[in-house]
Amino acid sequence: MTKEGKTLLKQKVKNELSTDNTHILIAEMNGEIIGSAHVEIMHRTDYTPKTVGSISTVYVTRKFRKKGIGALLVKRLCELFDAEGVEDVTLRYIIGNKEAEAFWKKLGFKPIITTAKTSLKELENKTSSINT
């Protein structure tokens, strides 16, 4: 994240929280925030299922990982999703993040889409020999 991105992050979160479909759950111990979950619930008319939950972030501070905090946050998300009529839940994580991959796999998530990226320069180099 750029310096400007970090500066704008507080306003971005504030804007997201002002909508009815975005929720943030906080895990706290002795007044210290030890984890959080950020989700969005989308009510759609043009696709099925009509109500979908999207987990943007689940984060637990390093010293509290592997203690069930993440799973408890997800359990609370399930309660929220159930109350909103959510049928499917999606999320994204970085390929190679073995900790996230194992966590989500244990909870029943299966990869269904691959997102790939390259720089424009790399793409141009690879396609430079193509005749039009």
- Taking CA atoms, 4 is separated from 7, 8, 9, 17, 57, in Å, by 5, 6, 9, 20, 21
Residue 40 in tokens: 């969005």
Domain count, the chain: 1
Domain carrying residue 40? 3-127
Exposed (0-12), middle (13-18) or buried (19+): which is 104, by Cβ within 10 Å? Answer: buried
In a domain, 53, yes or no: yes
Question: How high is the pLDDT of residue 9?
Answer: 73
What are the pLDDT tens digits along the chain (132 aa)? Answer: 788 877 887 777 777 777 788 999 999 999 999 999 999 999 999 999 999 999 999 999 999 999 999 999 999 999 999 999 999 999 999 889 999 999 999 999 999 988 899 999 999 999 998 987
Residue 109 in tokens: 């998530």
Give the pTM. Answer: 0.78
Question: How high is the pLDDT of residue 6?
Answer: 75
Question: How high is the pLDDT of residue 65?
Answer: 93
State how far the Cα of 102 lies from the Cα of 79, in Å rounded to an integer.
Answer: 22
Q: What is the CATH number of the domain that holds 84?
A: 3.40.630.30
Question: How high is the pLDDT of residue 75?
Answer: 97
In a domain, 132, yes or no: no
In a domain, 18, yes or no: yes
Task: Count the alpha carbons within 13 Å of 97 in the hemisphere toward its beta carbon.
Answer: 9
